[in-house]
Amino acid sequence: MDRQKRIVAIHDISCFGRCSLTVALPVISAAGIETSIIPTAILSTHTGGFTGYTYRDLTDDILPIIKHWQSLNLKFDAVYTGFLGSFEQIDIISQVFDMLKTKVIVDPVMADHGELYKIFPDNFPEGMKKLCQKADIIVPNMTEAALLVDESYNPGPYNPKYIEKMLKKLSAFSNQVVLTGVFFDEEKLGAAAYDKTADKISYAFSKKINGFYHGTGDVFGSALTAAIVNQEPLDRAVEIAVKFTASSIQRSFEAKSDVRFGVNFEAGLQDLLKL
């Protein structure tokens, strides 16, 4: 039997609200991958639609954790980063990439719906650009993509020409790019991918559901990471992640659940394994 894959997921812990590590850990583990974590911050809830949340910054803990792991000679098949707890963490995570010497998947979590998250300073996108430059794969949404390439946000619907131009611009950062929140009409929503080496663009779509559910970017990024580490080709990994995310959204829509509470991905974990 092949050696079990091992990755490290670096995101915050939002104690309630199904995003970041409370999504990455179960999703990637369910795909059979040993999932180590480094929490970047601990919040009582995520910041989307909640007020009064607690916030504990863990910036000072990141390098000591990695240094201890180095003393144990631990090796990882990939590192997957998302929401960072402070601007200073950008530099620290960049050092972590150098230390781990493994495949780097960066979800440049910082913005949505045309706006930078209020918790981040205006220069955060500049820092995130530097981190994306060290990635093998970046997974921005349309707002993050616009910030990375210094364009104004386009709310869509898009056309293939626009998306393909955006993918190619983003490939200045990393060899593989996965762009989420892509739609050409009101029927379907999905993701587009570009592999620069193969010069190959691919798309995956699913039925568009109205309503913005929190944490779907993390559900998508986690499923994508799991599929990539399990050696699926990029286009197939994107297809798997779109299917898993869309079915999680559909379930939550049918249950009429609060959009702030994240999506019911749990009921789809067995299907993810089959995919």
Least distance in angstroms from the C-beta of 82 to ligand PXL: 6
Bond before 160 cis per omega within 30 degrees: no
Answer for which of 140, 181, 215, 268 binds ligand PXL (CB under 6 A) is: 215
Ranked by CB distance to ligand PXL, the top (closest) residue is 47
One symbol per residue from 26 to 45: x for binding ligand PXL (CB under 6 A), - otherwise; what is it? -----------------x--
Residues of span 97-126 touching ligand PXL by CB under 6 A: 109, 117
Judged by CB under 6 A, the chain residues 45 through 64 that form the site for ligand PXL are 46-48
Q: How many CA atoms lie within 13 A of 237 on its CB side?
A: 26
What burial letters (b/e) apply to 188-225, b meaning 16+ CB within 10 Å?
A: bbbbbbbbeeeeebbbbbbeeeeeebbbbbbbbbbbbb
Q: Which of 83, 97, 213, 265 binds ligand PXL (CB under 6 A)?
A: 83
Please work out the total of residues on this chain that contact ligand PXL, with binding judged by CB under 6 A. 14
Considering beta carbons, is residue 5 or 48 the nearer one to ligand PXL?
48
Rounded least distance, CB 40 to ligand PXL, Å:
9
Of 45 and 203, the one with the shorter C-beta distance to ligand PXL is: 45
The 10 Å CB-count burial string (b at 16+, else e) for 4-31 is: ebbbbbbbbbbeebbbbbbbbbbbbebb
Q: Does 239 bind ligand PXL (CB under 6 A)?
A: no
- Beta-strand pair 115-116/137-138: unpaired
Beta carbon of residue 201, minimum distance to ligand PXL (angstroms, whole number): 26
Closest approach, Cβ 91 to ligand PXL, in A, equals: 20
How far apart are the C-alpha atoms of 19 and 16, rounded to whole Å? 8
Cβ distance 59 to 251 under 8 Å? Answer: no
Q: Closest distance between ligand PXL and the C-beta of residue 165, in Å?
A: 26
Helix (H/G/I), strand (E/B), else coil: 234? helix
Angle between helical axes of 216-229 and 21-30 (0-180°, round to 10) = 30
Least distance between ligand PXL and beta carbon 35 (Å): 17
Q: Which is nearer to ligand PXL, 81 or 194 (CB)?
A: 81
CB of residue 210 vs ligand PXL: minimum separation in angstroms? Answer: 19
**Residue 9, amino acid:** A
- Measured CA to CA, the distance from residue 214 to residue 258 in angstroms comes to 9
User: What values do phi and psi take at 11, rounded to 5?
Assistant: -150, 175
Q: Which span (11-19, 92-100, 137-145, 225-233) binds ligand PXL, by CB under 6 A?
A: 11-19
DSSP alpha helices (H): ranges in 13-123? 21-30, 59-71, 88-100
For ligand PXL, the closer CB: 7 or 111: 111
Q: How far apart are CA 254 and CA 110, in angstroms?
A: 29
**Selected binder of ligand PXL within 7, 9, 10, 19 (CB under 6 A):** 19
Cα–Cα distance measured from residue 46 to residue 54, given in angstroms and rounded to the nearest whole number? 9
Question: Rule CB under 6 A: which residues touch ligand PXL?
Answer: 12, 14, 19-20, 43, 46-48, 83, 109, 117, 215, 217-218
